[in-house]
Amino acid sequence: METYSVKVYGSEYSIRADKDGQHVSEIARVVDDKMKEIDHQFRPGSTSRTAVLACMTLVDEHMQDRQRNVDWVRLRVGRLIEKLDSVT
């Protein structure tokens, strides 16, 4: 496990991770960008409030992406089943 230093929303953090440094830096960049976006959209609040809103937004985006993937797989499997049914 490696320790990496990242900067998020103006603060420096030491992160221990099994992933490589580039991956950890990319995650930190996404979180930093989302926190800045939230801070810009809403009136500036506490760092913890901004962090919670950013996390909730990121999780919501992830859940929507996951649902789109599930929907795509269902559609694709349905089409494959229709093709198989038409062959038999």
Q: How many beta carbons lie within 10 A of that of residue 49, not counting itself? A: 13
Residue 31's nearest CA partner among 49, 60, 51 is: 51
* Tokens representing residue 14 in the block: 């030491």
- Domains in the chain, number: 1
Max CA distance (Å), the chain: 63
Confidence of residue 19 (pLDDT cuts 50, 70, 90): confident
* Tokens representing residue 84 in the block: 């198989």
Q: Is this prediction's pTM over 0.85?
A: no
Full domain range(s) for residue 10: 2-87
- Which residues 6+ apart lie within 8 Å of 5 measured at CB? 12, 13, 14, 15
Give the Cα separation of 17 and 29 in Å (integer): 16
Can you give the pLDDT at residue 43? 77
Q: Note the pLDDT tens digit of each residue in 30-85.
A: 999 999 999 988 877 789 999 999 999 999 999 999 999 999 999 999 999 999 98
Can you give the pLDDT at residue 88? 67
- 88 vs 52, more confident: 52
Can you give the pLDDT at residue 49? 92
